[in-house]
Structure 1
Amino acid sequence: MASGQTPRGAAPGLAIRDVGVAYGGRPILDRLDLDLTGAETTVLLGMSGVGKSTLLRRIAGLLDGPGAILAHDGQPLAGRIAFMAQSDLLLPWLTVAGNVALGHRLRGAHPDPGRIGEMLATVGLADAAAKRPAQLSGGMRQRAALARTLMEDRPVVLMDEPYSAVDALTRLRLQDLGLRLLAGRTVVMVTHEPFEAIRLADRIVVLAGAPARPVLDIRPESGKPRAPDSVEAQTLWRRIVEALGVEQAA
C-alpha cells in the first residue's frame, strides 16, 4: 500500500449498541450506545480504569458481553479490523520482516515479500528487515508495529495508546506518520493525553463514571495535526480536563 492509499473496501462507521462488559461482577460498560463515523479518527479519553481499553477490546471482538458492535454498511466486521496494542508485541525470535508478516502466517497465508518490503519502506525501516526486535530502538519497534498493522490492510484500525512508550519527540514523529498512513480508515484510538487527542482527532469522546459513559463529545474545528499552543487547542484542553474532573490551577 503506497502512502496515502486507502485500504481495501470502504471504511465503515461503527454502531455500538447496548454494549456491556463486567469484571468480577463489576460493570465496566453497561448498555453503552455510541456511533462512530467512518473514515474518521475518534479518540477515546478518560481516567485510568474507566474502560477505554475495555471498549476497544470489545470492538475488536476480544471480549464477550451483551450488546452488539455493528458496521453502518450492514456488512460483518469480522476480517475488517486491525488492532495495535500499547506494547509493540514484537516476537523476539522473528526478524522485523517476520513480525510484520505475522498476521498472515498465523492465518496460514503466504505474505507477499514485495508487500512486506513496501510496508517497511513506508515506515522507514527498509534497512532493518533482517534485524531482531532487540536491535531496534523504542521508536523503531513502534514503527514496526505500525507496519504490521498496515500489512493487515483493514479499513477499521483500533489503537490502544500506540505512541505512549516512546520519548516526546519520537511520539510527535510517530503521530505524524500515523496521521499520514492511516488516512481514509476508521480509526478508534485510546489515549490518556488530552493534547494527543486534540492534535490527532476528528472527534474526541471523554468517558467517565462507573460504568463508563460519554461525558464530553466534541469535534475540533481546525484540520489535523493541531498545534497545542493554539487558542482552539487550549480551549479544548480546558473542556477536556473539566470533563475528566481534574481541577485546574488558577
Structure 2
Amino acid sequence: MGLRRTRTRHDGDGGGERGIAVELRDVRRQYGRGPAAVHALRGIDLALPRGSFTAVMGPSGSGKSTFLQCAAGLDHPTTGSVRLGGTKITGMSETRLTELRRTRLGFVFQAFNLLPALTVGQNIELPGRLAGHRPDRRRTAEILARLGLADKARRRPAELSGGQQQRVAIARALVNEPDVVFADEPTGALDTATAAEILSLLRTAVDSLGATVVMVTHDPAAAAYADRVLFLADGLIADSLPRAGAARIAARMTSLTAPAFSRTGAAA
C-alpha cells in the first residue's frame, strides 16, 4: 500500500534522519532481592537505527517482554540507560514519560486495545487528544484510506473483524509519525492470511514512511519481515540474524532451547 511520509519526523538530538531511534546501554532489570531475585535483563547493549524493522525473539523466560517494556519506557531498568530518538528517558518523570509515549511513540498490541465506546476515527485520534493536540482530520482520513479503512471511520471496534481492528491499531500507532512503533505479538490473535497483511503494513510503514518498528514475536514467519532478528536468552542478546527466511529463523530459535541457555532466573 502507498503509505508515505507527510511531515518532518522528530530528530531530537539523535543525529537526524539517519540517527539512532532506540539505544540501550547496559540495561539490567531485576525483580526482588537475594536468592529469589529474578534477573529479567542482564546487561543489554543495543542501538537500532531510524527506519529499521527489528524483531525480538526468544524462548519463554528469555526477557523479551521486559526488554520491550524497558525500551518503550513502560518499565524502569534497575541500572543502565535508555534513549529514544536521542532523548534519554532513564530517570524521566512519569509525567514527561507519559507525554513522550503519547506524542513520540506508537504501540500495537496483540489484544488491539481499542476503546469500544469510541469510533474508529476517535480511537486513532485519542493519543493526540490526550496530549492536548487538536485532531488532524485530514491526516486521520488519509491514513485510514491507505490502510483500507476509508469507510470505517464511524464504525465501532465491535463492528470490525480482528484484522480490521489491528489495522486501526496500526493507524493509531502511525498517525503522529512517532520515533518508534513498539509491537508486542501484533499477529498473535490473527489467522495466517490476516497476519501476513498486518506484517506487510508494518513493513511498508518502514520502507515508505521511514518508520522504526521494534516487534516482539514468537513466530518465525512474522520475524522474517524484519531487517534484523534479535534472539534473547536468559536476559541477554544471545544472537542476531540479518533479514532471513522463516526456516533459518526457526532453526536459530531451536538452538536457543539447548541446555546452555536453559538456566533459571529470567522472566519472559
Shorter-chain-normalised TM-score: which range? Answer: 0.7 to 0.9
What residue number does 2:217 align with?
Answer: 191
Task: Please give the residue correspondences for 1:1-250 in structure 2 after superposition, counting only pairs within 5 Å.
Answer: 3-5=3-5, 8-9=9-10, 10=17, 12-13=19-20, 14-24=22-32, 25-65=37-77, 66-71=79-84, 74-76=86-88, 78=100, 79-183=103-207, 184-198=210-224, 200-209=225-234, 212-220=235-243, 233-245=246-258
Which segments of 5 or more consecutive residues in structure 2 lack a partner in the other structure? 11-16, 90-99, 260-268
175 and 134 in structure 1: CA distance in 2 versus 1, 3 angstrom threshold = same
* Distance in 2 (alpha carbons) for counterparts of 1:202 and 1:26: 31
Cα pair 1:4 1:182 within 8 Å, conserved: no
Describe the SS at the equivalent of 1:127: coil
Describe the SS at the equivalent of 2:175: helix
Which segments of 5 or more consecutive residues in structure 1 lack a partner in the other structure? 222-227
Task: Report deviation, 1:192.
Answer: 0.4
Describe the SS at the equivalent of 1:4: coil
One-letter amino acid of the structure 2 residue matched with residue 18 of structure 1: D
4 and 217 in structure 1: CA distance in 2 versus 1, 3 angstrom threshold = same
* Distance in 2 (alpha carbons) for counterparts of 1:87 and 1:152: 21
Cα pair 1:87 1:165 within 8 Å, conserved: yes
105 and 147 in structure 1: CA distance in 2 versus 1, 3 angstrom threshold = same
* Distance in 1 (alpha carbons) for counterparts of 2:176 and 2:109: 14
Cα pair 1:206 1:244 within 8 Å, conserved: no
Indicate the larger mover: 21-30 or 106-115: 21-30
How many residues of Structure 1 are paired with residues of Structure 2 in the alignment? 231
Cα pair 1:60 1:83 within 8 Å, conserved: no
Indicate the larger mover: 42-51 or 98-107: 42-51
Cα pair 1:16 1:69 within 8 Å, conserved: yes
Once the two structures are superposed, residues 137-186 of structure 1 have per-residue CA deviations (whole angstroms, 9 ceiling, x without a partner) of 10010000000001121121111111111111111111112211233222
